[in-house]
Structures are given as structure tokens and as C-alpha cells.
Amino acid sequence: DNGFSFTFTDKLRAIENLKEKNFQGVILYYHEEKHCDHLLNRFKEFVAHGGGVLAIHSAMASFKENKEYQDILGGRFLGHGAVRELKVVSKCKQLHTLKESLSFSIKDELYIHEYHGNNRVLWACKYNGKEEPVVWTKSYGSGRVCYFSLGHRSKTFQNKAVQEIISHALHWITGSGVDI
């Protein structure tokens, strides 16, 4: 009921067909995929020419040694803490259209990143006395990228705030007029 239609695949090579099949966006949710230069080039071209990307949790822990992939997503995976209760707080209240998600608590695994300074951090939480981004957005060429770092537990996606963030992120990466 959100106006999207989805094609699901567990084959990374499907990236080859994103542009030809006129996909507006792609959701990445995989772990430690081995990349091939051809696929990365097709992915980079898709995003640079206006394709949207929503990368979730372990997508950031993939292709750990590939700087181009990290540049597209806006950061580099460094590690993670234990699954624990996290307090996630909005960093962008003045632009907020979300009702549920100004702040929320959730039990999940927090990924730690080295992230680009030009990312727009939307939600964060404290970890070892330091603020760690949980959701950020950025541009890559004319494409839109959103990274959501939570998602280790399936129960995470039952959280209403998480559902709202992901829904708004999908609308934003596809240029559907919603700002997150």
C-alpha cells in the first residue's frame, strides 16, 4: 500500500539489469559478497545516473576493501557492538515529516563506521560516549543513497519507527517527493 512494486533476488548479478529494466531504486541487504569489477561499475553507473539505493545493515560490511563501493554508500564498516538496547535519536528535527521516529529504543546490533563528512546524519545513538550514525543520506552523482545501519535481528523490522524510516527512505531514494 506504499505505491511500490518489488522484485526480490538473491543474485548479485541482478545489478547488471537495474538500468535496462528501469528500476528507480535498489535495496541492498546482503553480507560479505565478493564483488566483480563489472558489477560494481554497473552499480556505480546506475546510482550516478539517478538510481536510488537503500543499503541496510550488513550491506555496509560487504566489499570491505573496495573504496568505490564505500564512496557510493558513504562510509566504511569498522566493526559492531553486541546486540543490546539502543536509544536512537533524530538529528534532523526541523525537517522531520515522521511522526513515530523522533526517538525510539530498539534491541539490535550497532554497526560502527568511518563515514564521510558530507553525509546527512538523520538518526544516531551513543556508543562508548561517542555519537554513532544509524541513518544517513547522501548524493552520488545524480543518485540518492540512504544507509540504515540496524537490521541484525528480524524483530527490528517489526518496530513501527523502523518501518516508517524505511518507507520514507524508499520514497526519498526514488524521488517520490518525500524528504526524510
Q: Three-state DSSP class for 138?
A: strand
What DSSP string describes 70-106?
HHHHTEEEEEE--SEEEEEEES-GGG---SS-SEEEE
Kindly tell me if the per-residue pLDDT of 96 is higher than 80: no
What is the percent of the chain where pLDDT is above 90? Answer: 52
* pTM reported for the whole predicted model: 0.91
Q: Looking at per-residue confidence, does 65 or 110 come out higher? A: 110
What residue type is 13 in one-letter code? R
Q: Three-state DSSP class for 120?
A: strand
Q: What is the mean pLDDT of residues 64-92?
A: 91
Q: What is the pLDDT of residue 97?
A: 54
Q: Nearest-CA neighbor of 81 among 128, 45, 120, 14?
A: 128
Q: Looking at per-residue confidence, does 167 or 17 come out higher? A: 167
Q: Looking at per-residue confidence, does 32 or 154 come out higher? A: 154
Confidence of residue 142 (pLDDT cuts 50, 70, 90): very high
Strand spans (E) along 91-170: 103-108, 111-115, 120-127, 130-140, 143-148
β partners of residue 95:
none
Contact predicate 174/52, CB 8 Å: yes
d(CA 70, CA 28): 13
Phi first, then psi: give them for residue 30, nearest 5 degrees: -145, 180
Min mean pLDDT across 3-7, 52-56, 117-121, 169-173 is at 3-7
Confidence of residue 92 (pLDDT cuts 50, 70, 90): confident
Among left, alpha and beta (phi > 0; psi -120 to 50; other), residue 19 is alpha
How does strand 130-140 pair with strand 120-127?
antiparallel
Kindly tell me if the per-residue pLDDT of 8 is higher than 60: yes
Structure-block grid coordinates of residue 108: 539490535
Q: Nearest-CA neighbor of 66 among 94, 82, 43, 46?
A: 43
Mean pLDDT computed over every residue of the chain: 87
